[in-house]
Structure 1
Amino acid sequence: MEKSDNKHAIVTVAICFLIAVIEGLDIQAAGIAAAGIREYFGLDSSQLGVFFSAGILGLLPGALVGGRIADRIGRKKVLIWSTAMFAIFTLCTVWVNSFHSLLAVRFLAGAGLGAAMPILITLASEAVSPQNRGRAVGLMYCGMPVGAAILSLVAMTEFGANWKNIFYLGGLLPIIVIPLMIFFLPESREFLKAKDQAQQAETPVQQGAFKNLFDAENRLRTLCLWTSYFFTLMVVYIMLSWLPSLFTELGFTRKDGATAQFYFMMSATVGTVILGMLTDRWKKAYVILLMYGGILGGLFALNGAGSLTQMYMAAALVGAFVIGCQGVLYAFGGIVYPTQLRGTGVGVASAVGRVGAMMGPAIAGQLLAAGFGAAGVISAAIPCIIISAIFMLVLVRRIPA
C-alpha cells in the first residue's frame, strides 16, 4: 500500500511540475517576445503595456473559477481542460492579425493558466500526507523558475530570436503533456474519499462555497492568506518584470540585466525546494521569519551592492527567497483549508495575489517615471514584505505547528 502511495505521489507531483514549467515559460514569454510583437503589430509603449496586462488579467477569472469547479467535479478533469485552453490560445497568439484579437487570445490563455495553478497546488497537496505537503508543493512549483530559465536560454538562440517560435513552444508543450495527464495522472484520493463518503451517507457531495471562506473557522485564515498573497506577489512580479531594467537604471548593460534574471531564476529553483522542505520540518513561524528575512536581506543587498558580481549575488538571493516564498504561500493554501474547500480557497487566494501581481509592475513603472530610480522601486517593495510577514505570522498561530 505504501509503495502504491509513493507511486501515486511521484506521478502526481512530476506531472504537476511539468505544467509549472509551462507556466514559467509563459511568464517569460511576453517579455522576451515583446520587441518582435511590437514591430509585427506596430504597437506603441502604451499598447505594449496593455498586452502585458492582458495575460495577467486573464489569470484572475481562471483562478477564481478553476478551483471552484475542481471542488465540484474533480481536480483531474478541470486541469486537463484548463491546460488545453491555455495551449490552444497560446498557439492562437501566433495566428492573430490585429491588436484586439491579440489581447483576446492572451486573456483567454491567461484564464486557462490561471485555472490550472490552484489545481496543481491542490493535487500536489493531496497526493501526500499532511506532513509532506510543503515539500510536495515546493517540488511541484520549482518548475516555474525552471521554465523561465529555460526560455531565457532559448531566447539567446537563433530559434528564440523569432517571437512566433516562443509561442509555438509555449503552445505545443502543453499539448504534449495533456496525454500524460489523461493516461497517468491519478485523481486526488482525498477528493474521491470525500465523494465516496458523501454517497455512502446518501447526502449530496459536500462542496466548499465562497461564503465558507468567511465562516467562523476560516475568516481570519482567509484574510491573512489574501493579504500575504497580495503583497508577496506584488514584489514577485516587480522583480520578474523589472529586474533587467533596474540593472540598466543602475548603469549596467542590458546583457548584465538578462544574466541577473537567469541567476534569479536558477536560485529560485533551489530556494523553492528547500523552503518547501523546511515548511514540513521546522516550526512554521521559523520558516516565515527565514523567508521574509531572506527577501529583505536580498532587497537591501540590491540597493547597496556596488560591483556587478555583488549585484548578481543579490539578484540570486532575492530569487531564492521571493519565488521560494511564493511556493511556500501556495503550500499554506493547501494546509489551511479542508479538502472540500481547498480548490476554492487556493483559487480565490491566487486571484487576490494576481491583483497584486498586476499592480506591482505598474507601480514600479510609475516610480521610475517619477524619477525615484531603481533604489526607489526596491525601497517601495520593503514595506510590502514586512506586511506580508506580519500577516503570515498571525496565520501560523491558527494552524497546527
Structure 2
Amino acid sequence: MTSLSVKNFLEASKFNRFHITLLLWGLFTISFEGYDLVVFGSVVPSLTKEWGLSPIQAGLMSSYGLFGMMFGSIILSLLADRFGRKPLIIISIIFFSVATVISGFATNATLFSWCRFLAGIGFGGALPSVISLLTEYIPKSNKNKAITLALTGNQVGGILAPLVGMIFLPSLGWRPVLWFSIVPLLFVPFMIKSLPESPVFLIRKGKLDVLEHTLVRIDSDYKKQMVETGPEPEMKAEEIPFIGLFQNKLALTTILFCVVYFMGLLMIYGLNTWLPKLMETAGYPLISSLGFAIFLNGGALLGTIIIGVLADRKGSKTLITVLYIIGAVCLALLGYKSNIFFLYLLIAIAGVCTMGNQSLLNAFVSQYYPANVRSTGIGLANGVGRLGGMVGPTMGGMLLSMKASVAMCFIAFALPGVVAALALLIVRKKHDETVVKPPEAELTS
C-alpha cells in the first residue's frame, strides 16, 4: 500500500456515508468555533456599558482572541502535520469551549481578555486540521463543495451567536450567551470514536492496520480498486513542515497567500465585531443591528454553498478574486443611506464576498499545497491572517473613537478587499506537483 495508491482510491471513491459523517463533524467543529469567535460581537455592547469600556478598549479585547488564533494556527497546525490531525482537532475544541465558558464568569476586562486569548489558540488549531482531513478524504469531484460546506460552519456560528444573544440578553444578560459554548464538549467522546486520522500521517507512522480499517469504512472492497505503484522516494528531513512552504517555487505564493488572508480576515473580524455597533451608530436599535449581523452571516451561508459548486465546475482562483472586488464595492456602499431592502441585500452580498469567499479560499489553498505541508501551509496563512483579524477590530474602534463617519468606517473595511484581489492575481494558477518529491505530496488533489 503506497501513498499514491491510497490517494488515487480516495479521490476516485464514491461520496457515501463515511464522507457525510466526516463532513458533518467538520461542520459541527467549525460551527462552534465560529460561534465562540463571533459571540464577542453580540455581547460587546453589554460589556461596554457594564465595564465602561471605550471603543478602543473593546476592539483590543476582541484582538486578544485573534492574537491567540495566530499562535494556534501556526503552532497547532505544525503539530498536526507531525502528530496527526485528529488529536489536534479534539484538543482545539476543548481549548476554545472551556475558555469561552470561563469567560462567562469574568468580572473584569483583564480576565475576559485572557480567556479570549486561550480560546483563540483553540480557534486557530481546529480549522487547518479540519480542512486537511476533508481535503485528503473527500472525492475529487466533491472536494470544493464539501470543504466550503463544512466552512459554512463559520456562518452557522455567526448566525447562532446573535440568535442566542436575542434570547438571553434582554432577560438574563450576556453571561449565558458565553456559557452556551459548553455544548461541543458534550460531543467530544463521540468525535474521538468516529473521526478518522489523516492517511498521510498513518502511512508515515506505519499504522497501516488503522488505515485499512478506515478504508473499509469507505468501501469494503477497496483492495480491488487499489492500483499499486512502485516504491516511493524517502521524505527528506528539510522538507518537513515550514521549510517545504518555501521550496519548489512555493515561496512567493506562500507570501501572497499570507497577504490575502491578512486582508480577508481584517474585513471579516472588523465587520463581525463592529457591524452591530456601526448600525446602532447609524440610528438602528440594538436588536435590529443584531439582525444585520444575521443577514451578514446568512448571506454568507447560502452564498458559500453556491460558490463551492461553481468552484468545482469552473475553478477557484478567478472566482475568489472577483468576489473580493464585489465585496469591496458592497462594503463601500453600506456607508450611504438607502432603503432597507437594498441595505439588507448589500449586507448579504458582503457576507458572501468576505466570509463565504474565505471558505472558498481555504479550500483553494488546501489543494494547492502538497499533503506533507498542507496543515502547516493553511495554518501559516491563517496565523498571519489573524494579524489582520486583530487590526480590523482595533481599526474600527479607533475610527469610532475619532468620530469618523459610518461611511468612512465602511470604506476602511472595503479597501483590503482590493488589495487581496491584486495579490491573488499574482499567485500562480496551480502548483506544479511534479517537482514535489515527498510521497505525501502526491496526495494533493
TM-score (norm 1): 0.90
Among 37, 40, 48, the residue aligned to 1:30: 40
Q: Which moved more, 1:304-313 or 1:67-76?
A: 304-313
For 2:435, the equivalent position in structure 1 comes to none
Look up the match of 1:165: 176
**1:208/1:344 contact within 8 Å kept:** no
Question: Is 1:219 aligned with 2:228?
Answer: no
Change (3 A) 1:315 1:180: same
Gaps of 5+ in 2: 1-8, 209-230, 433-444
CA–CA separation in structure 1 for the residues paired with 2:413 and 2:75: 30
List alignment gaps of at least 5 residues for structure 1. none
Instruction: Compute the displacement of 1:362 (Å).
Output: 1.6
Aligned amino acid, residue 232 of structure 1: G
Distance in 1 between the 2:112 and 2:335 partners? 37
When residues 241 and 158 of structure 1 are mapped into structure 2, their CA distance, relative to the original with a 3 A threshold, is closer
1:378 equivalent in alignment to 2:436: no
Distance 1:217 1:274, change over 3 A: same
Summarize the Cα distance change of 1:382–1:153 in structure 2 as closer, same or farther, 3 Å threshold: closer
Of 128, 133, 146, 1:123 maps to 133
**Two-structure CA RMSD over aligned residues (Å):** 2.8
Give yes or no for the alignment of 1:391 onto 2:401.
no
1:137 maps to 2:147: yes
SS state at 2:283 partner: coil
Query: Does structure 2 retain, via aligned residues, the 8 Å contact 1:195–1:205?
Result: no
Identity of aligned residues (%): 28
Superposed, which structure 2 residues align to 1:1-400 within 5 Å? 6-37=16-47, 42-45=51-54, 47-97=57-107, 99-158=109-168, 161-170=172-181, 172-196=182-206, 208-399=240-431
Q: 1:5 to 1:123 in 2, by over 3 A?
A: same
* 1:20 Cα deviation after fit: 1.0
Asked whether the equivalents of residues 271 and 323 of structure 1 are also in contact (C-alpha less than 8 Å), the reply is no
Greater fraction of residues in helix = 1
Q: 1:103 to 1:188 in 2, by over 3 A?
A: same
Instruction: Say if 2:316 and 2:360, in contact at 8 Å, map to a contact too.
Output: no
Q: CA offset at residue 14 of structure 1?
A: 0.7
**How far apart are residue 185 of structure 1 and its match?**
1.0
Secondary structure of the residue aligned to 2:104 is helix
Question: Cα distance 1:252–1:82, how it changes in 2: closer, same or farther (>3 A)?
Answer: closer
The normalised TM-score by structure 2 is: 0.81
Aligned residues: 399
1:133-192 residue CA offsets vs partner (Å, 9 max, x unmatched): 32121110101111121221121124774322122211x112122122101111123433
Task: Tell me if the contact between 2:162 and 2:294 (Cα under 8 Å) persists in the aligned partners.
Answer: yes
Q: Deviations over 1:209-266 (max 9, x none)?
A: 2122112421122012111111111111222122222223433333332221111111
Deviation at 1:332, TM superposition (A): 1.8
**1:28 CA displacement:** 2.8
Structure 1 residue 11: Cα displacement? 1.4
The answer to whether the 8 A contact 2:47-2:53 is kept is no
